[in-house]
Structure 1
Amino acid sequence: MRHQQILDKLAAPLLVRALNEDLARWVGWQLVAVPEDHRDLGQRVIPPILTRWRCLLDSDDTAAETRHRGWVAMAVLLHRYGLTDQAVTAHASAAIDSLNRDVVLSDAFARQSPAIKDFLSAPPPPLTRRPRRPGTLTLLRPGDVVSIQVEASFHAAFVREVAGGNEYPVIEFYAGRFGRPPTFGELSGRAAGDRGGARFGVVGLTYLPDPANQVRAVASGHRQPPLGIDPGPGEGRYTMTDIIRLQHVIERLFREA
């Protein structure tokens, strides 16, 4: 049995592709950051990946069968990259049972479910090379306004431009945090999160709708960015980051909000 055979049987190509892109990019970055020691790779990879994807995996707003597919895909892709997590594997096993009980997937998936569970329970082979960096082509456009969830908080951002040959959006955060996705009316006339310091080029901020359910559309074609002052000479137009590191950026930027 191969990882891709299981993933294909989930019949969720966009979800699998987006999750694989997040993992491949983040695992690759961690292998570059600490190339000499892979022993704690799982601790550096799994928690931030789960923070992003729990917006789908644990959400009551997500269809049950989508959550179940997500848990199985998470376990399979972690296994592909030489990683495992007991809680994720347990969720995936229960999700397999639910998908079969509700007859969501094919007969072949149901027949092979015991083998799939055994496959995921076995220790994964160690990763021998850095994953290939996935290409990016963002679907966001200038004037889009989005809400980004981290844990139980929501943060709004305005797409100022698309850079790198349509590879990634440059966003600017509005001030404040919200307990639910903000409405456009709540953002109109709102200041920027920080003078010139709330602008980020975000690699991996690719899809809208976001398969991880972390990024949600608020408005499109809006012409008024957050109110604020442009960066001064020598301050830089924006800071480069990616969709996983952005979560830490948000926590730092809105620590006092």
Structure 2
Amino acid sequence: MTHKQILDKIGFIALTQAIDEDLARLVTRGLAFKKGGSITDVSSYVLPKILMRWNCVLLADSGLAKFYKEKVVLTLAILLHKYGFSDNEITKKATIAIDTLNDGVVLSDDFYRKSSQIKDFLLTKPKELKRKPAKQQSITFFRAKDVIFINVSGKFYIAYIHELTGTNESPVIELYDVTYDKKPTLEDIKMLKAKGVMYNDGIIRKALFAIYGMKYQPDFANQIHLLKSCSGSEMLPEDSHLEESVGVYTVSNLFVMQDKIIDMFAS
């Protein structure tokens, strides 16, 4: 039995592609860091970052389609194994998900018949990846002037998309200086001031970020949500209190941006 055979039995091609793309970006970056000597273990780099994003599904209490969480955790477990990683908690949840999917008669008879083999496969030691993944296509389905919110470790942050780089490659976002403990609505946006970044010279400047990997809308990871589409200039973050930025924008990706948001709002 192969990873592809199991994923084909789950039959959720778009979900598989979304998780695979996320892992490929993280693994490529992790391998580069290991080669450069800044980390010694790629899995310790990849696992916390992929889970911070996909826990928006795995830890969600509501708002998901029935059996979606089970399909996500099983697909994630298979793809982690494909890239040479394993996580005991994810594997355990994936095994339970197999039973839940079978009890609900969600997938095919073939999946049901092969369930024991799939469970055994997940418990095998994954093979270490020998080469970096193929380069991922840069594309986004978000649009300029969209207003979005991002879930990072249970906190919600709102951002405005100024433009798209290249030919719909990545959205350039600016964060509002506001945080919520629950999913916000447009009516919740009371202050439209932009969140700046403090530089080493102590000056707080405008901060725009081009986010590569922010592709799907709706987001399969349940992390990024559209609040308002192509809203216009009335939703622009007010940034007159900030000094000019250094450069037009900072090139980033979803996983670097998770950490950056935490750092920005911690200060």
1:210 and 2:219 correspond: yes
Distance 2:36 2:170 in 1: 30
Q: CA RMSD in A?
A: 1.7
Deviation at 1:189, TM superposition (A): 5.1
2:247 equivalent in structure 1: 236
Deviation at 1:33, TM superposition (A): 1.5
**1:36-75 aligned within 5 A:** 40-61=41-62, 62-75=64-77
1:131 equivalent in structure 2: 133
SS of 1:206 mapped into structure 2: coil
1:5 and 2:12 correspond: no
Paired positions, count: 255
2:34 equivalent in structure 1: 34
User: TM-score if structure 1 supplies the norm length?
Assistant: 0.94
Distance 1:176 1:3 in 2: 42
Distance 1:122 1:241 in 2: 35
SS of 2:149 mapped into structure 1: strand
Q: How big is each residue's C-alpha offset from its partner over 1:65-100, in whole Å with a ceiling of 9 and x where there is no partner?
A: 110000111110000001111111111000001001
Q: What 5-or-longer segments of structure 1 have no aligned partner? A: none
Distance 1:16 1:145 in 2: 27
Task: Flag the 1:115–1:36 CA change in 2: closer, same or farther, 3 A.
Answer: farther
Deviation at 1:254, TM superposition (A): 0.7
Deviation at 1:39, TM superposition (A): 5.6
Match of residue 187, structure 1, among 180, 186, 189: 189
Percent sequence identity is 37
Deviating above 2 A after TM superposition, structure 1's stretches of 4 or more consecutive aligned residues are 36-39, 185-189, 195-198, 229-232
Aligned partner letter, 1:41 = V
2:110 equivalent in structure 1: 108
Match of residue 238, structure 2, among 185, 207, 227: 227
Distance 1:197 1:204 in 2: 22
User: TM-score if structure 2 supplies the norm length?
Assistant: 0.91
Q: What 5-or-longer segments of structure 2 have no aligned partner? A: 197-203
Deviation at 1:157, TM superposition (A): 0.3
Aligned partner letter, 1:60 = D
Q: How big is each residue's C-alpha offset from its partner over 1:13-51, in whole Å with a ceiling of 9 and x where there is no partner?
A: 221111110000110111011127786211110111001
Q: How big is each residue's C-alpha offset from its partner over 1:124-162, in whole Å with a ceiling of 9 and x where there is no partner?
A: 111110011210210010110001001110000000000
Contact 1:138–1:169 (Cα < 8 Å) also in 2: yes
